[in-house]
Amino acid sequence: MKFGKEFAAQMVQEWQEAYMNYSHLKTILKDVLRFRKLRGAPSPEAATSHGSLKKKASLYRAFSGLADRYRGSPRKSEDEVILVSAVQESGGDEHYQTLFLNASDEGGDYELVFFESLDSEFSKVINFYKKKVEEVMGEADDLSKQMDALIALRIRVDNPVVGGYNIANLPIHGFSSVSESAVHPPINSRNPGLSSMEVIQEVEMSAEANSEDSNKGTNNENYKKDMETFRPASLEVLDFVKINVEPKTPVSTIKKVILNSNTGLSYSKEGLRKAEELMNQAFVEFYRKLRLLKSYCFLNQLAFSKIMKKYDKITMRNASKSYLNMVDNSYLGSSDEVTTLMERVEAAFVKHFSNGSHRKGMNTLRPTPKKERHRITFSMGLFTGCSAALLIALVVIIHARDILNSVGAPQYMDNIFPLYSLFGFVVLHMLMYAANIYFWKRYRINYAFIFGFKQGTELGYREVLLLASGLSVFALGCVISNLDMEMDPRTKSFEAITELIPLALLTLLLVIVFCPFNIIYRSSRFFLIQCAFHCVFAPLYKVTLPDFVLADQLTSQVQALRNLEFYICYYGWGDFTTRTNTCSGSRVFESFYFVVAMIPYWFRFLQCLRRLFEEKDSGEAYNGLKYFLIIIAVAARTAYELRMGMGFEDICCSHLRSCDDHGYLLGHCS
């Protein structure tokens, strides 16, 4: 793969405009090469061959150290092509200017344009990098303060005992009542030259403290030495922290609203667990940002090296050495803040979240990418091919037997088609989701973190396509078997069994979804069930991104929900053995048909109310108003459809007295 494509593939899409425009600089160099060819200048290939011959001839020359030194001193100034200088602008940004010394040469204007563009790109890159480094340094300070609060919360919740004193019961403002406080200053009096990430001190509540207490009599000197170096984290940081534990159940949510228990601090195990979980995620995401920033620095340095070597090859000059020395000495090449910060984050994460296990901590910070398994790709291709073959076979059977013009075709379409179309909606939905995952991965969007999937369990587009193609094979196979059993005179007596095929397929699908065993992507299935449960009880749960995304998708699946209602009516109150039903004439069915269409929009409306209540965002009020108006519009449209359907049936029954095979309401007139 060429470097330009590899460079574009490894870009962070959010920072795409901040990378060096490699393709633009390459285009300028092509103009330089085109001009040199028109003027008859030697090509880079000829220069390369000439250089190799010259190198071979030099092997047979006489050696003279004096002559070489004499000839080497003036050549340095002759070979010097560019002079690079940095200019500090008023806003604090740096701008680099390159002076091209051979501008008077033929074609020098093209090279001047190249160096102007090169300086502009380098100034853009280095200023963006400086800005991002300042941001992550500020985020590191905030993260350190949050770690201090977490450590203080651990002390308050776990009540550790060190040196005979219960630290959680000490006065919050300083440890002034302890005799050791004169020797060990509180956390606020630390050396200001040290970063807060370096001086994080945590009390270990494991066997270390107990073992030190047990060995106090036998090894008193070592114990005193350890106590002199111990400095507990200050608890006064909790005065400025509010631990808010979100309710997990509808009952806890109702209690929170009624009792207004949103004030005060929560020094509980649940609050500590939630805080540790959030800090764990914050560390992982912050470390990922540092890795992306380091990759940004490396890729741009490599791009400048590549473009300068390409310039030397085209123009047969030696300018890359001077320019790349400037790049190495600049802030982009010489700063080590990101590397140092990554080492500190690794050390802090291993100590506080991995129990000192470096391998466990690094596996969390640097998760290994999921391996693409060949059997998944093979199975996906197999099921996709089978689905295409079954679809073609279905079309051939329908046309060969002229099923659409047969006597029972309207009855079949009114009863069987809604049963099987449910699986069509599900498969189509999964195909669209697989396409989304494909583009998210292609443009390097961290969808697993955005949606809150458990690390390493998120599905790729191949897995989703495998599930979609597998379901389509089962659904199309059932359709063909249903048609064959119905149209074949030998199996026509088993009509009751054939009508149960769609119900059996739906039952199998639901069993797989709710299966508690660790098969067929259990974590993803349970995540979907949890999001669906939160949608059903929308105002009683905190609305997260997966919840309202699922509710938004359900608004596009109104017809699928109506097909589920038809399943209940057809197999519960209809006579499926004779392929007839009374759903259209049932007031209960019409009422639920009316309600089902509004359920997804009602979920979103309640979610908007919950977010408006918590976030106090006026945008959620407008969003909720939008869904409320959609509910009114859907209700009016559904009522109009039901009224028009009933009117046509009354006309059909009153004027024709009976419905023949050409009426689409066959079986509903009396």
Query: Span 19-38, mean pLDDT?
Result: 87
Average the pLDDT over 46-73 and give the result: 45
- Kindly tell me if the per-residue pLDDT of 357 is higher than 50: yes
Q: Which amino acid is at 309?
A: K
SS3 171: coil
Average pLDDT, the chain: 76
Three-state DSSP state, 421 = helix
Q: pLDDT of 532-591, one tens digit each?
A: 999 998 888 889 999 999 999 999 999 999 999 889 888 887 667 777 777 777 788 888
Please write the tens of the pLDDT for every residue from 326-350.
Answer: 888 888 888 889 999 999 999 999 9
> Which range (69-73, 169-173, 416-420) has the least confidence?
69-73
Residue 493 burial class via C-beta count within 10 angstroms: exposed 0-12, middle 13-18, buried 19 and up: exposed
For 223, half-sphere exposure in the C-beta direction (CA atoms, 13 angstrom radius) is 16
Q: Which residues contact 85 (CB under 8 A, 6 or more apart)?
A: 96, 97, 99
CA distances to 153, 239, 259, 268, 391 from 265, in Å: 10, 9, 15, 9, 62
Mean pLDDT of 151-169: 65
pLDDT tens digit sequence for 286-331? 999 999 999 999 999 999 999 989 888 888 888 888 888 888 888 8
- The per-residue pLDDT for 534 is 92
Global model pTM greater than 0.85: no
Model pLDDT, residue 263: 46
Residue-level pLDDT at 659: 39
Please say whether the beta carbons of 492 and 569 come within 8 A: no
Of 60-69, 121-130, 658-667, give the lowest mean pLDDT range: 658-667
* Per-residue pLDDT tens digits for 226-252: 444 445 556 665 655 665 556 566 666
Q: Which residue has the tokens 């059997």?
A: 375
Residue 655, pLDDT above cutoff 70: no
- Pick from 8-22, 174-188, 379-393, 643-657: least confident: 174-188
- Alpha carbons 187 and 201: distance in angstroms, whole number: 9
**Do 324 and 177 meet the contact criterion of CB atoms below 8 Å apart?**
no
Which DSSP string corresponds to 244-303?
Answer: -PPP-SHHHHHHHHHHT--SS---SHHHHHHHHHHHHHHHHHHHHHHHHHHHHHHHHHHH
Query: Would you state the structure tokens that stand for residue 562, as one six-digit string?
Result: 């109506």
